[in-house]
Structure 1
Amino acid sequence: MLKEFKEFITGGNVIEFAVAVIMAGAIGAVVKGFVGNIIMPVVGHFTGGTNFDDKKIILDEAVLDAAGKVTSPENAIMWGSWVNTIINLIIVGLVMFMIVKAYNKTKKPVEVAAPAAPAGPSDNDLLKEIRDALKK
């Protein structure tokens, strides 16, 4: 059993998968930083400085005691945070699309083999046709 596990763990697929997961995490951090630190400030600029994280629909106000301590927290639908998540998803998708498109341009184009010419009659078939035509 230990030998089988060793073969499994050192197999190419497991190593490739581990490298892919690590690279995905690193690329995810880069893309998240790009979206959060570069793109979202631009989006905020074009939306008039609106920060969607603060947007909400309050269902129940917070209840405070006499000392001002919260006894029951506010119950609200945080729709602005959801809008930010959707914007992030669209931007991340766009960035990933651009990365994949740039990667595909670096690859050599795959040459498609020309289809083979349709097979015609063989030499023997042609000779037989000539022979039969001469007999007539």
Structure 2
Amino acid sequence: MLKEFKEFALKGNMVDLAIGVIIGAAFGRLVESIVADIFMPIIGLLTRGTDFTNLYLQLSGDAQPTLAAARQAGATIAYGNFITLLINFLIVAWVLFMVVKAMNRFKKKEAAKPAEPSKEEVLLTEIRDLLAQRT
């Protein structure tokens, strides 16, 4: 049983998947940093410093100064948090789209390069050319 588990765990697909998950997690943190540290401050500047996370609609109770207080006072629709998460999603989706687009462009360049002929093909081409010259 141990031998079978070792074969399963060390298969190429399993190792590739593990590497993909680790790289994906690191890439996710990188994208989160791009969103939080670069794009959101720019969006905040364009929206005159509006922090969307604290926007809410109080359904019951008196108006409160903060979202936390409003939630304690009663039913509250915290639409600002949704707006923030939506903006984050759109930015992450755009960054991933650009990465995939760049990768596809790179793959096309690699696929477009013609393979160099093998030694046998070069030799056969030379023989064909020599035979064509004799006739």
Common fold by TM > 0.5: yes
RMSD: 2.3
8 Å CA contact 1:59–1:77 kept in 2: the answer is yes
Normalized per residue, the structure richer in strand is: 1
1:1-136 equivalence runs, <5 A: 1-61=1-61, 73-74=72-73, 75-107=75-107, 108-111=109-112
More moved, 93-102 vs 72-81: 72-81
Normalized per residue, the structure richer in helix is: 2
The two structures have a TM-score, normalised by structure 1, of 0.69
- Runs in 1 of length 4+ with deviation above 3 angstroms? none
Q: Equivalent residue for 1:130? A: none
8 Å CA contact 1:61–1:73 kept in 2: the answer is no
Q: Residue by residue, what CA displacement relative to the aligned partner does 1:34-90 show, whole Å, maximum 9, x if unpaired?
A: 00110011111111211100101112348xxxxxxx9x9233111100011111111
Q: Residue by residue, what CA displacement relative to the aligned partner does 1:20-42 show, whole Å, maximum 9, x if unpaired?
A: 00000000000000001100111
In the alignment of these two chains, the number of paired residues is 105
Letter in 2 for 1:110: A
Bigger CA radius of gyration: 1
Equivalent-residue separation in structure 1 for 2:3 and 2:31 (angstroms): 40
8 Å CA contact 1:57–1:79 kept in 2: the answer is yes
The two structures have a TM-score, normalised by structure 2, of 0.69
5+ residue gaps, structure 2, are 63-68, 113-135
5+ residue gaps, structure 1, are 63-69, 112-136
